[in-house]
Amino acid sequence: MINLSRGAAIVGIHEHQTRYAPDKSELQIQGESVIKALEDAGLTKNDVEGLFTASSTIRNSGLNLADYLDMYPKYVDNTTVGGGSFEFHLSHALTAIAAGRIKCAVITYSSLAKSGGISVGTGGVARFGHPKLDPSPDSFEEIYGLTTVGLYAMIARRHMELFGTTSEQLAEVAVAMRRHASLNPEALFRDPITVQDVVNSRMISDPLHLPDCCVITDGGGAVVVASPELAKDCKNTPVWVMGVGEALAHQGAGKRDLMYIAAKQSHGPAFEMAGVKHSDIDMAMVYDSFTITVIETLEDLGFCEKGEGGEFVSNGRIQLGGELPINTDGGGLSSNHPGMRGIFLLLEATRQLRHQFEGTERQVPNCNIALCHGTGGALGSRHSGGTVILGRD
């Protein structure tokens, strides 16, 4: 196989500041983000040959976005596998650029989950209205009142049963994210919380309390990816795509052990392509839809043994200053979570690798290699996992 490692680089990023934008359209937020990300790269509309986007709400999302921005891309990818879609997009953009099909791609996303009043976690099947169920799998699932949080809570419950994981250990993840959010002026929630605050708060779906669940916001962002040749002319330090891996995991016709998540399948190829070890990773962006998501993902990425994730996230190990800082922007648990969050993983990892926060507490010192892992869908039913390893020269 052709080694794709470093075959493309992230050269421009933009995170839309908004957390609540009832006066904007989703396409407008995407457009504003793409324009700013291209400015950040020092590139223009005419440089963009590939268009990558995903949406839960915009029909034919790539087609409508191209129309809105009057673009004529020659490479289009609307892979939509839930919140982790954007790690898949980066993986695909790398392949397209390394193969010489295109020299520059933009990946973008936006959502009005907050102002649209979408109960992403607790709306159940009615969160997008009350559709007629598909014959399968919906008709064997939604009739029992599934919610997104419930599907993660079931995994958390079994994790506790099998491995002795505690509510306090789950809470450690929320506490760490909140501390990081306190350093991010754009984060939704910035006031520090304690483990006791989390375990004493309202139960949403046992054993997950309210602060075990991500926030719901509006928002969006964009990433510009370029070939090595084009990256040389860009304004910022290139952030190389060193390794990628993709996986899907599901019920396996009722027989799969749901305690192992897609990260177990996707991380091996990513590490192999990148040619790095776990100990080389300076920081990680781990999709934090719920606190259990982080614990399960760290285990199945191989940062600790199965069942040891609860202990791994405790005692500040995943906080800035710890062994493996995670989600230094405050994550989905405290900064933002507009329906799907995978693009924000790429944005913060890029900021850290650019040393954008040098001289402040938010910067991971000597940050040279970062890992992003996006999870989409739900751990208890079916989900995607996209691992991306990024690095700077």
* Interface with other proteins (CB under 8 A): 119, 122-127, 130, 132-147, 149-150, 153-158, 161, 202-208, 251, 253-255, 258, 380-381
How many angstroms separate the CA atoms of 334 and 329, rounded? 9
Q: 337 in helix, strand or coil?
A: coil
Q: Report how far residue 272's alpha carbon sits from residue 283's, in angstroms, rounded to the nearest whole number.
A: 18
What is the distance between the alpha carbons of residues 163 and 139, in angstroms, rounded to a whole number?
Answer: 32
Q: Whose Cβ is closer to other proteins: residue 201's or residue 368's?
A: 201
Q: Give least dist CB 299 to other proteins, A.
A: 17
Q: Minimal distance in Å, beta carbon 216 to other proteins?
A: 13
Please count the other Cβ atoms lying within 10 Å of the Cβ belonging to residue 145: 9
In the complex, the smallest distance separating the C-beta of residue 257 from other proteins, rounded to whole angstroms, is 10
Q: Using the minimum distance from each CB to other proteins, give the nearer residue, 127 or 190.
A: 127
Distance between CA 377 and CA 148 in Å, rounded? 8
Which is closer to other proteins, CB of 380 or CB of 385? 380
Nearer to other proteins, 66 or 248 (CB): 248
SS3 313: coil
Q: Quick one: 42 or 123, whose CB is closer to other proteins?
A: 123
For residue 388, the tally of other CB atoms under 10 A from its CB is 32
Q: How far is the CB of 47 from other proteins (least distance, A)?
A: 44
* C-beta of 256 vs 277, nearer to other proteins: 256
CA distance 340 to 220: 9
**Selection from 8, 11, 5 nearest residue 243 by Cα:** 5
Closest approach of other proteins to the CB of residue 296, in Å:
13
Residue among 40 and 212 whose Cβ is closer to other proteins: 212
> Does an H or E element contain 85, and which?
helix 85-98
Q: Count of residues for the chain?
A: 393
> What is the DSSP code string of 119-154?
-TTT-GGGBTB-PPPPTTTGGGTGGG---HHHHHHH
- Which one, 54 or 149, has the nearer CB to other proteins? 149
Q: For the residues of 95-108, what is the DSSP string, one character each?
A: HHHHTTS-SEEEEE
Write down the least CB distance from residue 20 to other proteins, Å. 20
Distance of CA 43 to the CA centre of its chain: 25
Compute the least distance from the CB of residue 252 to other proteins, in Å. 8
Decide: helix, strand or coil at residue 284. strand
Closest distance to other proteins from the beta carbon of 58 (Å): 23
Going by C-alpha positions, the residue among 99, 77, 94 that lies closest to residue 269 is: 94
- Three-state secondary-structure class, residue 239: strand
Alpha carbon distance 80, 16 (integer Å) = 21
**In the complex, what is the shortest distance from the CB of residue 384 to other proteins, in angstroms, rounded to a whole number?**
19
Q: Closer CB to other proteins, residue 78 or residue 381?
A: 381
